[in-house]
Amino acid sequence: MEKKTLLALSLLLVGAVLGAYLPALDAGFVWNDDTYVTENPTLNGVDGLVKLWSDPRSNEQYYPLVFTSYWVEKRLWGLHPLGYHLVNVLLHAGAALLLAGFLRRLLLPGAWLAAALFALHPVCVESVAWVTERKNTLSLVLTLLAAHAWFSWREASAARERMPAPKKNRRAPALPWYRRPSIPYALALAAFSLALFAKTTASVLPAVLLVLVWWKEGRLAWKDVRPTLPFFGLGIALALHTAWLERTMVRATGQDWALGLAGRVVLAGRVVAFYAGKFLFPSDLAFIYPRWTVDPASGLQWLPAAGAAALLGLAFAFRDRLGRGPLAALLLFGGVLFPAMGFFNVYAMRFSWVADHFAYQAVAVASAAVVCGGASLLAGAPLAARRAAAGVLLAVLGILGTLSYRQCHVYRDTETLWKDTLEKNPGSFMSHTNYGYWLHSVGRTDEAIGHFEQSLRIRPENVPTLLNLARIEEEGGSYEKAAGHLRAARQIEPNDPVVRLNLATIYTKAGRPAEAVEEYLEALRRPSSDDYLVHNGLGVALMNLGRQAEAIEHFRMTVQLRPDYEHGQRNLEKALAIMDGGAPPRP
């Protein structure tokens, strides 16, 4: 294909992405964009940059490359959302271009149309229009770069093997460093490592590469597997680290995930069927989908898993007649979805088992399988049939682009997002909680209380809602009512340090410092990112009890954990300078 044609197709694809995502460029920040960007202390200064790489607990998730990109952007355009959204959109366009190039590298027909299908599919909107999901767009770009480099290494290695042996008593001519196979291999490993630091779902890449080798060559030998071992080792290590953080720091554990092995298999089958359905018929897309009940005792719930197993079995049994393509496509689609099938605890699954952003990479695989597979089947068809199929696909692309354009409006602002979600999923307790939180933040407290109460009616054991109600009572000076909400939350989650911290703070304000000390000490038994607040509050309570020496040590620990926490620094200075009758530090 001529360079001019490639350039024209590339510009057309990027232009289509920009057109479909134009509303996203006018959007603001939503939901947890505050903890990721607007209120994230690790984005401030060089110390923050060092911390987001060196301290896995410095953010909600250990994806330091994503936070580094935010750190750089904050220096470029502050907290204006346009820049962050534009980067996400351009990364998505870049992923589509890399996908087209990779499919062409595999000699698959319809590569550009497959990339366009991925680029314009509305299931991808959540990953692109939501700033927090930079994780997906950045990780996929790096993953595709790693795949390109890995195949470059294979091609360079094969070319080297085909070189004639040197004549007797002569040494083989040395290759220039840039033509040595080790260079693309090192680049592949480097790009893969960076992809993992953007999102550890990239850990499936080595398995994907082996499936592609088997599909192309019809066999898989040890010499094919051995080079992927460093990739597997690195991917598994970081994936396990992420799973550990989900369980310990994010607290993705408890009854919500008590499914057992049979339940998780049932869940996996339905998850795959759900995403396949949304790819084929992307209607009723929602930010939070209803969370269905998993019951392995129900025979009907086994049907999706049984159907997936049957499809794999048929594709394997008929691989000689149908070719290896169908089996490879099924393995790749299921493989990239494996981290989101429910075998690992993910905090977001407390609200719903599925989410559009979990399927971002799977949409790329499905687009390639459907378009390239269909183009292969039509390769021998009459020209009229091929033109008709191309026309249908172009019409589908137009429809999908329009749907993506409309879906982008959902992410315009926080209120629009939660109102749209509750319209589609009124039983989402989490949406009521988060909408209520936003309503309270803008002074619409009565409306907020209504949503908090609805959230508790749907899920009485909803700790975040109890925390929000306690905050409202605290702001109104009703400390006993606030403590009542927090004691209810403590009964539900006795090991939650956030609950203990809030209850201790209320006890201090209510003039009950001895009880506050007990709660603060309990909170410190379970390390969290809020430990600096616990030490500060504990110091205040100890000062109120006259235990100044102990209080000073906790204030010092506050400053050590969070040097930029000015309130803790002031409390330390007051504690050191306090005299008889002096005002004690505030909680």
Select 426-494's CATH number: 2.40.50.140, 3.30.56.10, 3.40.50.300, 1.25.40.10: 1.25.40.10
**Do residues 308 and 269 lie in contact, with contact meaning Cβ atoms separated by under 8 Å?**
yes
Question: Which segments of 278-354 are extended strands (E)?
Answer: none
**Do residues 211 and 328 lie in contact, with contact meaning Cβ atoms separated by under 8 Å?**
yes
Cβ atoms < 10 Å from Cβ of 393:
19
What CA–CA distance (Å, rounded) separates 89 from 75? 20
Look up residue 190 and give its two tokens: 């480097």
Structure confidence at residue 256 (pLDDT):
86
Look up residue 576 and give its two tokens: 């050191």
What CA–CA distance (Å, rounded) separates 435 from 414? 8
* Burial zone of 57 (CB within 10 Å; 0-12 exposed, 13-18 middle, 19+ buried): middle
Domain ranges of the chain: 19-159+181-411, 426-494, 496-587
Cβ atoms < 10 Å from Cβ of 39:
12
**Do residues 493 and 499 lie in contact, with contact meaning Cβ atoms separated by under 8 Å?**
yes
DSSP state for residue 525 in the 8-state scheme: T
Look up residue 48 and give its two tokens: 């923050």
**Do residues 357 and 133 lie in contact, with contact meaning Cβ atoms separated by under 8 Å?**
yes
Question: What is 496-587's CATH superfamily?
Answer: Tetratricopeptide repeat domain (1.25.40.10)
The residue type found at 526 is R
Structure confidence at residue 176 (pLDDT):
62
Task: Mark 224-242 as b/e (b = at least 16 C-beta within 10 Å).
Answer: eeebbeebeebbeebbeeb
If you search the block for the tokens 């000015």, which residue do you land on?
Answer: 566
If you search the block for the tokens 């981290």, which residue do you land on?
Answer: 339
What CA–CA distance (Å, rounded) separates 388 from 42? 54
Task: Report in angstroms the alpha-carbon separations of 582 from 221, 575, 576, 579, 585.
Answer: 78, 10, 11, 5, 9
What CA–CA distance (Å, rounded) separates 341 from 273? 11
Task: Report in angstroms the alpha-carbon separations of 149 from 71, 143, 187, 364.
Answer: 28, 10, 6, 19
Structure confidence at residue 167 (pLDDT):
59
Query: From its phi and psi, is residue 121 left (phi > 0), alpha (psi between -120 and 50) or beta?
Result: beta
Pick the closest to residue 66 from 243, 289, 242 (CA basis): 242
Helix, strand counts (H, E) of the chain: 28, 0
What CA–CA distance (Å, rounded) separates 509 from 267? 46
Pick the closest to residue 147 from 88, 100, 217, 197 (CA basis): 100
Look up residue 202 and give its two tokens: 């990239």
Cβ atoms < 10 Å from Cβ of 249:
18
Whether 496-587 and 426-494 are alike in CATH topology: the answer is yes
Structure confidence at residue 160 (pLDDT):
73
Task: Report in angstroms the alpha-carbon separations of 535 from 72, 511, 519, 571.
Answer: 31, 18, 11, 11
Pick the closest to residue 364 from 553, 143, 90 (CA basis): 143
Q: What are phi and psi of 106, to 5 degrees?
A: -80, 5
Walk along the chain (587 residues) and give the pLDDT tens digit of each residue: 688 899 999 999 999 999 999 999 999 999 999 999 999 999 999 999 999 999 998 888 999 999 999 999 999 999 999 999 999 999 999 999 999 999 999 999 999 999 999 999 999 999 999 999 999 999 999 999 999 999 999 998 887 766 665 556 566 555 665 667 889 999 999 999 999 999 999 999 999 999 999 999 999 999 999 999 999 999 999 999 999 888 887 778 888 888 999 999 999 999 999 999 999 999 999 999 999 999 999 999 999 999 999 999 999 999 999 999 999 999 999 999 999 999 999 989 999 999 999 999 999 999 999 999 999 999 888 999 989 999 999 999 999 999 999 999 999 999 999 999 999 999 999 999 999 999 999 999 999 999 999 999 999 999 999 999 999 999 999 999 999 999 999 999 998 899 999 999 999 999 999 999 999 999 999 888 789 999 999 999 999 998 989 999 999 999 999 888 998 999 998 888 874 455 555 55
